[in-house]
Amino acid sequence: MNTHRYLPWFLGLGVFLGIAGCQKSSQPIVRTVLPNGLTVLVKTVPGTPVAAIHLMVGRRLALEKKPGESVLTQMLLTKGAGDLDRAAIAQTLESLGARVKTVDNPYIPFDDYYNSRDYAYVRLEVLDENLFPALDLFHTMVTSPTFPQDEIRRAKQRLTLQLKENERVPRWVARNKFYALLYPGTPLARPLEGTLEGVHSIERSDLVAYHQRAYVPRNCILAVVSSAPAQEVLSKIRELFGPWQGAGEAPGAPPPPQPTEKRESIVFLDNDRADIYMGTTIPPIQHEDIPALRVAAMVLSYRMSNVLREQRGLAYRLGAFTEFFNDYGGLFGITMGTSSDQFQEARDGILEVLRSLIEEPPTPQELRRVVNAQWGSFLRYHQRKINQAYYLSLYEHLGVGYAYDLQQIAALRKVTPDDVVRVVQKYLTPDRLVLSAAGRIQKNKE
């Protein structure tokens, strides 16, 4: 989830001074589309010791035939590819000073920052001097996985264990129900990690077929950030990825969410902790109201932190966020982790703070505080080249173009208190919100 995390402005300013010089010395970002349909973004940052390679794979859940195909494919990309087995891939990565990531770690809090129902990813960081041999390995992993049977068995065992554990964790249960409420009948309603039944039924042939549908040039965006001249990087990419073929599956029209009167899901879990997700659908990222909705999320996060966590001690985790999808617009979400016996007070508290955005509109000073904090957070994340590559890919995927990454702060700074009140009244009234919660709250009514 894209949960907003705030930093003091003086820290953001310090990061800004470090990033600004880097941005000024950078060469322009080069965008091209290869004849096979692969979109490529290359950014040159002179003097950097680390290079980043990022592949974004679209429509991950829409292309599944069995729940779990996407995440299992991601898990197996590093377990065998081309002529390399798991050990050979690991040895090559070590010799290059590289690290690769294809799935999030379920045991690390907030490690799902980049996880999305909309796309999958392959991230590789490497010593800058080893960029080209790393691209060789990266190309082999994403285009030619071998899906060894013994590795499939181990991956299915690990995923099965994770799914069984998730059934008892309020956060995962509430999150999955939240998307199901907002997007019934669409791929976004499915559990990102799959289902026990789906994972159990998946065979090697299913994974091979999924890879052939999803990992095709026209469904992928490749971004590289390094100190190497852009044209040299592009030449290497054309050499490796130019012959990559595969038509995949024609997108077709995405199924619209099915009409439903269901606005609430409360799942009983025998757990002292409870998790709450509350929110609604909003327009796509290109819409004129989005900057104001994003600022509303920042102000709401700030106020909930002060009132519900610091003053009332109701939350161990909370925040408001916006998330966007290629085919289904966006969502405005509010999430809180609390104790089961404080669920009702926490739920009422969220609505109370949300109402305060209308009854006590944010001041210009409050808007400056939260937007500056967001700017500091933005700069902190962009210190790493892999994050720069991710955001270039993300905004290209969403259809606003890679330049949106640097333009968005200017749009946020134009938002006024009246804009925040207007979008809250338009989109965030209680009758528009759905609620998903899990914990020792009450018996499940479903």
Per-residue pLDDT band for 387 (boundaries 50, 70, 90) equals very high
Residues 67 and 192 sit within 8 Å (Cβ to Cβ): no
Q: Hey, CA dihedral for 400, 404, 405, 411, is it positive or negative?
A: negative
Per-residue pLDDT band for 14 (boundaries 50, 70, 90) equals very low
22 vs 201: which has the higher pLDDT: 201
Residue 153, judged by CB atoms within 10 A of its CB (0-12, 13-18, 19+), counts as exposed
Long-range CB contacts for residues 257-263, cutoff 8 Å, separation at least 24: 257/182, 257/183, 257/184, 257/185, 257/186, 257/281, 257/328, 258/184, 258/185, 258/186, 260/181, 260/184, 262/181, 262/184, 263/181, 263/433, 263/434, 263/435
pLDDT at 422: 98
pLDDT at 303: 97
Measure the CA–CA gap between 236 and 231, rounded to whole angstroms: 9
Residues 42 and 233 sit within 8 Å (Cβ to Cβ): yes
Q: In order of start, what are the domains of the chain with their CATH numbers?
A: 26-241 (3.30.830.10), 264-439 (3.30.830.10)
110 vs 31: which has the higher pLDDT: 31
Alpha helices in 26-76 (DSSP H): 69-76
Q: Whose CA is closest to 325, among 174, 118, 62? A: 118
Percentage of the chain modeled with pLDDT above 90: 84
pLDDT in tens, 112-155: 656 899 999 999 999 999 999 999 999 999 999 999 999 999 99
Give Cα separations from 260 to 96, 125, 184, 194 (angstroms): 52, 44, 8, 23
Residue 97, judged by CB atoms within 10 A of its CB (0-12, 13-18, 19+), counts as middle
Element (H, E) at 315: none
Answer yes or no: is pLDDT of 272 > 80: yes
pLDDT at 107: 59
pLDDT in tens, 312-335: 999 999 999 999 999 999 999 999
Element (H, E) at 186: none
Quickly tell me which residue has 């994003």 as its tokens: 294
90 vs 262: which has the higher pLDDT: 90
Question: Facing residues of 241 across strands?
Answer: none
Give Cα separations from 2 to 20, 26, 59, 114, 435 (angstroms): 24, 27, 19, 8, 18
Residues 217 and 40 sit within 8 Å (Cβ to Cβ): no
Quickly tell me which residue has 């379920």 as its tokens: 106
pLDDT at 445: 46
Measure the CA–CA gap between 25 and 16, rounded to whole angstroms: 14
Answer yes or no: is pLDDT of 110 > 60: no
Answer yes or no: is pLDDT of 104 > 90: no
pTM of the model: 0.90
| Residues in the chain, total | 446
Q: Is 375 helix (H, G, I), strand (E, B) or coil?
A: helix
